[in-house]
Structure 1
Amino acid sequence: MFKHLLVATDGSALSESAAQMAVGLAKENNATVTGIYMVRPFHMTIYSAEMVGYTEDEFLASDRARAEEYLTTVRNIAAHAGVECDTVAASGSHPYEAILDTAKERNCDLIVMASHGHGGIRGLLIGSETQKVLTHSHLPVLVVRPPV
C-alpha cells in the first residue's frame, strides 16, 4: 500500500515512537522511510537555557549536532528492522512547510508524526506543527499520540 513514508522527529520519546511505527509500516509494506528534522534559523526563539549566550554559528552547530543525533535514531530504528532509510535536516522558519515540501520532493505517500496533545488554549497559543501538516497536506498523515 505505502511505498515511501516520511517521519518527522523532534527528538522526543513520542517522535521516537512515531519512527518505530513508521518503520513497522514500512517493513510490512516493503517500503522505504525518510526521517526529517527541522534545523531552526538563529532568529527563532531560544528554547533552552544553555542556548542564551550562543552566537549564530554556535547555535547552528548545536542544532545541526542535535539533528544528526535525532536522525541517527531514526536510521538505527530502520536498520534494526532491515528497512531502507535516508534522512533530511531541513531548514527554514516553518517546520510544517519543510515537512510538506520534503514529502513532495521525495514522492512520499504517507507522513508519520507525533502530536504531543497540546489542546485548548495552550494548543492555540503555541500552535501545532502536526495540526498545520494535517491542515495543508494532500497526503495521508498518521498521527501518533501519547498514551492515555
Structure 2
Amino acid sequence: MNMYRNILVPTDGSDITRHAIDTAINLAKVVGAKLTVISVKEPFPYSAISEMQPVPPQEFFDAQERLATARVQVASEAAVAAGVECLPLTVEAAHPWEAITDTAKEQGCDLIVMASHGRRGVSALLLGSETQKVLTHCNTPVLVVK
C-alpha cells in the first residue's frame, strides 16, 4: 500500500517553490503518487477602483489567470517529464493558505509539500506566514522544503 497517493504542491513561481516542486515530483515518483499542483490567484482589489486609472476587472482576472496557469504548467510539464501524473489547478483566494488547505481536502491529498517561504521573501519569522497558517489550520501532513 502506498504511503501517499496524492501530493499537493503550491507554487508562486519563485525559485524556492521550484525546489519544493522538484522535491514533490521526486517523492511522487518514488512512492507512486500523483501530483496536484496549485497556484493561487489574487482577487480583484475592488478598493483600488477609486484610484485614477484602475485596471478593468476582466483585464486583471485575465492577467492573474495567465500568471497562475504559466506557474502550474511549468510544474505540470516537469512532473509529466518525470513520469508522474499531474493535475494542475488555479484557484482564486484572498488567503493562499485557505486555498491550499481547501484544495487538499477537496482533492483528497494526503501530503502537502511546500516551500518554507514564498515570493514575499524570508522574513524574520522561522516560516513564511502562508506556510505557517497551512501548518496551523490543516490536518494533512506537510513537508516543508527549505
**Normalised-by-shorter TM-score class:** 0.7 to 0.9
Provide, for residues 88-117 of structure 1, a one-character-per-residue CA deviation record: whole Å limited to 9, x for no partner.
Answer: 101121111110010001110000111226
Tell me, what secondary structure is at the counterpart of 1:5?
strand
Question: Which consecutive unaligned segments of at least 5 residues does structure 1 have?
Answer: 47-51
* Equivalent residue number for residue 21 of structure 2: 19
Partner of 1:59: 60
Segments of structure 2 that go 5 or more residues without pairing to the other structure are none
C-alpha distance after superposition, 1:1-34 (max 9, x if no partner): 1111000000001111111100100000010000
Residue equivalent to 2:112: 111
> Shift in Å at residue 53 of structure 1?
5.2
| CA–CA separation in structure 1 for the residues paired with 2:103 and 2:76 | 17
State whether residues 44 and 93 of structure 1, in contact with CA within 8 Å, keep that contact through their aligned partners in structure 2: no
- TM-score when scaled to structure 2? 0.86
- Counterpart of 2:34 (choices 29, 32, 40) is 32
Q: Distance in 1 between matches of 2:46 and 2:15?
A: 23
Percent same amino acid among aligned pairs?
A: 46
What does residue range 1-148 of structure 1 map to in structure 2 within 5 Å? Answer: 1-43=3-45, 54-116=55-117, 118-120=122-124, 123=125, 128-145=129-146
Q: Distance in 1 between matches of 2:22 and 2:46?
A: 29
Structure 1 stretch 127-136 or stretch 9-18: which is displaced more?
Answer: 127-136
CA spacing shift, 1:55–1:6, aligned 2, 3 Å: same
Give the RMSD, CA atoms, in angstroms.
2.1
The number of equivalent residue pairs is 136
Q: Give the CA deviation at 1:44.
A: 7.7
Q: 1:32 to 1:45 in 2, by over 3 A?
A: farther
Alpha-carbon spacing, 1:132–1:80, altered in 2? closer, same or farther (3 Å): same
Give me the whole-angstrom Cα distance separating, in 1, the residues matched to 2:47 and 2:28: 35
What TM-score do the two structures reach when normalised by structure 1?
0.84
